Structure 1
Amino acid sequence: MPTIVHGFDWPDRVVVGTVGRPGARTFYLQARDGRRVVSVALEKEQSAVLARKIDEILDEVRSVEGNPASVPETTPDELVDHAPLDQPVEAEFRVGALSLGWDPSTAQVVVEAYPLVDPGDDDLDVDLDLDSDEAEPVEMMTLRLPVGTARAFAARTLEVVGAGRALCPLCGAPMDPEGHVCAGPGDSW
């Protein structure tokens, strides 16, 4: 079975957003090109790592003498996006793995998202080819982000990740609205 690729070469919009209350949020990576919108579900930590790694790649490219890709140091004001996710939000798949790269020929950050694979699941998100040592995903998402868009994506993603539950000033654990059991500094369980 051929892999379905949700590809976005020059997307109009790429964001990470959430649905739900802090403590029970579901994170989504969403891309839009014209009227086509594709969303995939991912974990909070995957979102944070993706944003930090994109910033690292951009900083590394920016440090090259002469900055040939014109990578901005900060998010360009015209690319700041605080709008909610496009509705309805329906995940094509849950992300299991992400890959990240740099395409110097187009000066774009390349993000690939692959579905989560549960080997015990009868409805696998992969095509098992018995003649091959590797499993092929049934679908994937590929994003090619220009440098300004990538910088804006990373900044927004880190804001969304940081907008969750407040942290306890004593133990540093997230506090739930229903209450918080705190070990406090120096207390041990």
Structure 2
Amino acid sequence: MGLVEFDPPDRFVAGTVGPPGQRTFFLQASEGRRLTSVSLEKQQVSVLADRINDLLDSYAGGEGADHAAAEVVDNAPLDTPIEDDFRVTTLSLAWDEDRQVIIIEALDRDPDDPEAGVDPEVLAEEPRQMRVVLPPSRARAFARRAQSVVSAGRPPCPFCGGPLEPEGHICPRSNGYKR
């Protein structure tokens, strides 16, 4: 697979498949008939959204403003088929000053330590990478949707902050009593 680049994509979104507590998180980019879906952890989606917002606040000025992002809202579900091309282990984010765009890279292994935590079968293959280039307004819209997707899961326990299951959970802050 190697490098798959979307500069810019027709669509770039974060989404999930499955019920709360058992969701699989995806980043999905499409351009024309080409569709790439990669799976990753909930925390990776959350951190990516936060860092995009930080980067836009620091560098994009008015182009990354909320009103500009409101014009490119995408609340549609993930495109099908939803099959991950690879599992993301490393994300990188950059601001291209000349083009005034954000560059997001998702990799299947750490380029500084390619053998760390990677299945030996995967190591035999060529590294897989997805690169997405977004203007500030689309990056802000992506970050908003990603934050919404992350927060749509199980509500947090008011005592310990852990996720609440429909049947309750054993709360360490209440000496193990079910809440």
Larger mean Cα displacement after TM superposition, 154-163 or 114-123: 114-123
TM-score by length of 1: 0.82
Q: Is the 8 A contact 2:9 2:31 kept in 1?
A: yes
**Per the alignment, do residues 52 and 139 of structure 1 end up closer, same or farther by CA in structure 2, a change over 3 Å counting?**
same
Shift of 1:77: 2.1
TM-score by length of 2: 0.87
Structure showing greater Rg: 1
Structure 2 residue corresponding to 1:34, chosen from 28, 32, 46: 32
- In the aligned structure 2, how far is the partner of 1:77 from the partner of 1:180? 38
- In the aligned structure 1, how far is the partner of 2:117 from the partner of 2:52? 30
Greater helix fraction, Structure 1 or Structure 2: 2
RMSD of the TM alignment (CA)? 2.1
- In the aligned structure 2, how far is the partner of 1:125 from the partner of 1:19? 27
- In the aligned structure 2, how far is the partner of 1:176 from the partner of 1:49? 24
Deviations 1:17-60 (A, max 9, x none): 00001000000000011111100000000000000000011000
- In the aligned structure 2, how far is the partner of 1:160 from the partner of 1:48? 9
Larger mean Cα displacement after TM superposition, 112-121 or 14-23: 112-121
Larger mean Cα displacement after TM superposition, 86-95 or 162-171: 162-171
Q: Is the 8 A contact 1:102 1:110 kept in 2?
A: yes
Greater strand fraction, Structure 1 or Structure 2: 1
Runs of 4+ with deviation above 3 angstroms: 116-120
**1:153 pairs with 2:151:** no
**1:51 pairs with 2:49:** yes
Percent identity, aligned pairs only, is 45
Q: In the comparison of the two structures, how many residue pairs are matched?
A: 171
> What are the residue-to-residue correspondences of 1:3-152 with 2, within 5 Å?
4-62=2-60, 67=61, 70-74=62-66, 76-116=69-109, 121-125=119-123, 138-152=127-141
- In the aligned structure 2, how far is the partner of 1:61 from the partner of 1:163? 29
- In the aligned structure 2, how far is the partner of 1:51 from the partner of 1:126? 32
**Per the alignment, do residues 166 and 120 of structure 1 end up closer, same or farther by CA in structure 2, a change over 3 Å counting?**
closer
Deviations 1:87-122 (A, max 9, x none): 110101000001110111211100111104665633
- In the aligned structure 2, how far is the partner of 1:181 from the partner of 1:102? 44
- Please tell me the residue identity of whatever aligns with 2:39: A
For structure 2, the 5+ residue unaligned runs are: 110-114
Q: Is the 8 A contact 1:118 1:124 kept in 2?
A: no
Q: Is the 8 A contact 2:170 2:176 kept in 1?
A: no
- In the aligned structure 2, how far is the partner of 1:59 from the partner of 1:25? 30
- In the aligned structure 1, how far is the partner of 2:6 from the partner of 2:105? 10
For structure 1, the 5+ residue unaligned runs are: 128-136
Q: Is the 8 A contact 1:11 1:33 kept in 2?
A: yes
